[in-house]
Amino acid sequence: MTDGQNTPTLASPAAPGSPPAKLICRGLWKLFGADAERFLERTGGDPSAQQIADAGLIGAVRDADLEVGEGEVFVIMGLSGSGKSTIVRCLSRLIEPTAGELVFEGADLRRADARQLTEIRRHKMGMVFQHFALLPHLSVLGNVAFPLEIQGVARGEREARAMEMIDLVGLSGRETYFPSELSGGQQQRVGIARSLAVKPEIWFLDEPFSALDPLIRREMQDEFLRLQRVLHKTIVFITHDFDEAIRLADRIAIMKDGEIVQIGTPEEVVTAPATQYVAEFTRDVPRAKVMSVRALMTPGDGAGTEGTVPADARVNEVAHEVVHGRKPVAVVDDAGAVIGRLERAPVVDVLAPGGPEPAPATAAAAS
């Protein structure tokens, strides 16, 4: 943070070659109920689910560890009541965590005071939740431009930016409407546009497309992907839709009863589930949608092949070319160099319905 306050700076651990961590939480707890902090202290900071229940508390988030890399789309999934919406609010301190470390851009966010938090949220965080607090006395244009007005942006500039976002979410022609004149889905799109207007460095998105019809939902996903390719923003995205997660995620965290049970790429989560719960959760996801060509290729120089496919393409994206080709296909890396070959047989195996299910991994969940 650069506002002149004495906020301590912490190191952001990252694996070699990976982007630096934009957001880190370590040992994050959120217990709802009386004297939750004292309860954690009495139990040594690691109570069991039964101890939490016996104390009359609710363990909404339990000892969560995660790192979100700069420019990463990090999707959090889970069933209703798993803690996914609570954790995203803890990450922005809209809900105060009971315990744990929370680091944003290298600084201890839990030590930021109210003024610092306000400035961070106004200028660095965008937040989109399922239910939006639209201002009923402001038009669509006024609502979308409102966060820019709070920032002190001149009227002409903020309204021009707001109009761009209104057009983006498909509400052109309704900029003079008031929230009461809009459908639920249209109101949700106003909230999405309002969040985008501030050009946040990190977006917290809690099922932002859930109320949109399928066509608009797909268009909004496409637009977010396009913006991500250009702007490389950091996104924490909550969804219950695995197809949406597969499209958008660089990595996925799956939660159960307040705990993060596995973190991995879509391919890792689907093909190497860490627990039986994750295996059941991902059972109906088509493997061809998440498996990469790289996972199925035979390394080599590509001799005797015809055509090329990218190593990081999904199998379903290249299946027709491979299955109906006369020869194996060469696999190329980002630089266009041949690194292997893709045969027909493994692609058919992945595409075939009723194929063997992956067994849960025996190792601990990745993080």
Q: How far is CA 160 from CA 28, 172, 192, 289, in A?
A: 40, 13, 16, 39
Q: Which residue has the higher pLDDT, 285 or 73?
A: 73
Q: Amino acid letter at 321?
A: E
Q: How far is CA 104 from CA 41, 46, 91, 139, 276, in A?
A: 25, 24, 9, 34, 33
CA atoms lying within 13 Å on the CB side of residue 86:
26
Alpha helices in 124-183 (DSSP H): 140-151, 155-168
The residue behind tokens 């939480």 is 25
User: What span, in angstroms and rounded, lies between the C-alpha atoms of 119 and 125?
Assistant: 9
Domains of the chain: 291-349 (3.10.580.10)
pLDDT at 79: 87
Q: What is the pLDDT of residues 317-362, one digit of tens each?
A: 888 888 888 889 999 998 889 999 999 899 998 887 654 455 555 4
> What average pLDDT does this structure show over 210-215?
75
The mean of the pLDDT values for the chain is 86
pTM, full prediction: 0.81
> What average pLDDT does this structure show over 12-41?
83
Say whether pLDDT at 223 is over 90: no
Phi, psi of 222 (to 5 degrees): -60, -45
- For residue 15, what pLDDT band results from cuts at 50, 70 and 90? very low
